[in-house]
Structure 1
């Protein structure tokens, strides 16, 4: 058994898809705009059965339960998801140059180096150094 797909609630899946692919560098696994359905994957991940990449569904928050959850997590300042990167400082600098808003500069604690940014789609996202 392996994790195949997870989701993150977003205000607008099409806008989130553009941000996550064009700015963050993820790739499209599936896009069906007519159904407001967008799934992204790790850059360079293939679609073979032995691929260990997980799809990320950009879930519309048009359901009041999803919207309440997304808004409560954001209002509390908590990251909704964590992405691993080999070098948080380099990714921070790349994304700041692309106009991404971070809560602060990268910091280190016993779990490692991390930084948190606002995806502009209703979520804070944490980068964590692999």
Structure 2
């Protein structure tokens, strides 16, 4: 058993793809036309870190209820965790790309960590070796 995908609801596809691919360095695994359950056009967009098995389905918000959760999918908590091998290089690259860090890097028992916001405003922990 494994988790294949999880969804992040975003405002628009293309800026979200650019953030995850160009800023975070993820791979664009799939970007295909698809249909909503009631037959309207949408896209099936999957990104994932290089070498990872689990991907992120970037789902454009459809309707008021989904629009309301963009950037707040886990009620303001850190809900996503990006493990990096080189914390300093990743932090510098992301800061140079104007990623918003909401905490300064700190050391925890499990490694170095800094909280950043994704394109939608969701909180992520970037975690690297101590």
Same fold (TM over 0.5): yes
Q: Mapping of 1:33-52 within 5 angstroms?
A: 35-43=42-50, 45=51
Contact 2:7 2:57 in 1 (8 A): yes
Q: How many residues of Structure 1 are paired with residues of Structure 2 in the alignment?
A: 122
Cα-Cα RMSD: 2.4
Does structure 1 retain, via aligned residues, the 8 Å contact 2:10–2:59? yes
CA distance in 1, matches of 2:96, 2:109: 28
Pair 1:79–1:12, CA change in 2 (3 A): farther
Query: What residue is the counterpart of 1:85 in the other structure?
Result: 84
| CA distance, structure 1, for counterparts of residue 7 and residue 101 of structure 2 | 22
Paired position in structure 2 for 1:104: 103
How many Å apart are 1:110 and its aligned residue? 2.3
Q: Please give the secondary structure, in 1, of the residue aligned with 2:120.
A: coil
The aligned residue for residue 115 of structure 2 is 116
Q: Which 4+ runs in 1 deviate beyond 3 A?
A: 63-75
1:12 CA drift (Å): 1.8
TM-score, structure 2 length as denominator? 0.77
Matched-pair contact (CA < 8 Å) for 2:71–2:120: no
Normalising by structure 1, we get a TM-score of 0.77
Structure with the bigger percentage of helix: 1
How far did 1:84 drift?
0.7
- Deviation sequence 1:59-93 (CA, Å, 0-9, x none): 223244444444545763x2231111012222111
Q: Given the superposition, is the C-alpha separation of residues 71 and 91 from structure 1 closer, same or farther in structure 2, using an over 3 Å criterion?
A: closer
- Structure 1 runs not aligned, ≥5 long: 46-51
* Structure 2 stretches lacking a partner, 5+ long: 34-40
Deviation, structure 1 residue 99: 1.6
